[in-house]
A and B are shown apart, each in its own frame.
Chain A
């Protein structure tokens, strides 16, 4: 038995698709290429197998995701994760929020920021720099983006460079994309005996 997880958590749940994923045994050569399936790497997640239904998108999205979140220079890894968390909280993508809150805590070697966000919500008492980053990313993520010139000015007052601001725009926007796949196409679940 499993139950759907409804509350934000750093403990990453499983992801259960609402559609039937591609059957690896029946995958086309294009799908296998996009899935990076090789004789020594045959483990593919249900999420990636689900996205393999649209192999053209999957092929271009994976390298784009990695570039936005991991390319060198610009904003720190942890602050990019904060942008991802803000979007995931707005869109209530429990799975994405868990994965990226866990990464943020590990990168920062502290659970302080994500503890505050998950207990105090979007008005959490953060450092001025984190608050400016989170507020901008949260407003940019709303159904009609509402980030304003004042929010941009707050980023600059907090000391962010143009390169850092661009990385924040990209990372939070990227989760406007990721959340609309992960949260829409499946459920975050926990098996009963591990609750």
Chain B
């Protein structure tokens, strides 16, 4: 995969040869590691309780709630049967209510998270290891959404 085929630079619309591309080249290692991090949270070998399609659906949802439909659509393509939670208007039914509420709050209202939010997941039977996996997924997509938004602004592209 070339630098400009990483999800982050593709979603930002950064192509080789331009002024922004030159800046991105100076930090090529960072964009390559960002892609490795995406692979680790979206498509890990050890999924825990969250298979790849669910992870892709949640990533799409996080991007959509942050108003990045380009990134949301990229992730939704891998959501398989879990498109029931890919977009903010859908909550996936009662089975996923606690999970989806937690993801929405961590992604969009981080400052309001309190110990009780973790306790609710634990009470719903989510293991501590899976809570960490879930936070890593949400946190990575929150990072990626912002890198993409910033790069678009650098290029003068409307976000």
**Contact between B142 and A176, CB atoms less than 8 A apart:** yes
- A53 touches which one: B132, B146, B154 (CB < 8 A)? B132
**Contact between B138 and A180, CB atoms less than 8 A apart:** yes
**Contact between B136 and A181, CB atoms less than 8 A apart:** yes
Measured between beta carbons, the chain B residues less than 8 angstroms from A56 are 40-41, 44-46
**Contact between A162 and B23, CB atoms less than 8 A apart:** yes
- Closest-by-CB residue of B relative to A55 is B46
CB distance from B100 to the nearest CB of A (A): 16
CA distance A52 to B48 in the complex (A): 13
Count of A-B contacts judged by CB separation below 8 Å = 171
Q: Main SS of the interface on chain A?
A: helix
Interface status of A165 (Cβ within 8 A of chain B): yes
**Contact between B154 and A166, CB atoms less than 8 A apart:** yes
CB distance from A32 to the nearest CB of B (A): 16
**Contact between B153 and A147, CB atoms less than 8 A apart:** yes
Interface status of B139 (Cβ within 8 A of chain A): yes
Interface size class of A (residues with CB under 8 A): 35 or more
- B143 touches which one: A151, A152, A176 (CB < 8 A)? A176
**Contact between B131 and A177, CB atoms less than 8 A apart:** no
CA distance A59 to B111 in the complex (A): 26
Measured between beta carbons, the chain A residues less than 8 angstroms from B81 are none
Measured between beta carbons, the chain B residues less than 8 angstroms from A149 are 153, 156
Measured between beta carbons, the chain A residues less than 8 angstroms from B132 are 19, 50-51, 53-54, 185
Q: Which of B24-32, B72-80, B89-97 forms contacts with chain A?
A: B24-32
- B34 touches which one: A50, A57, A64, A167 (CB < 8 A)? A64
Interface status of A92 (Cβ within 8 A of chain B): yes
Residue contacts A-B, CB under 8 angstroms, 9 given: A19-B128, A53-B128, A57-B44, A57-B140, A90-B111, A141-B146, A145-B67, A176-B142, A176-B143
New A-B contacts (4) at CB < 8 Å, excluding given A60-B36, A144-B108, A173-B144: A56-B40, A57-B44, A169-B154, A181-B136
Question: Hey, which bits of chain B sit against chain A, CB under 8 A?
Answer: 19-20, 22-24, 26-27, 29-30, 33-34, 36-37, 40-41, 44-46, 48, 65-67, 106-111, 113, 115, 117-119, 122, 128-129, 131-133, 135-136, 138-140, 142-147, 149-151, 153-154, 156, 159
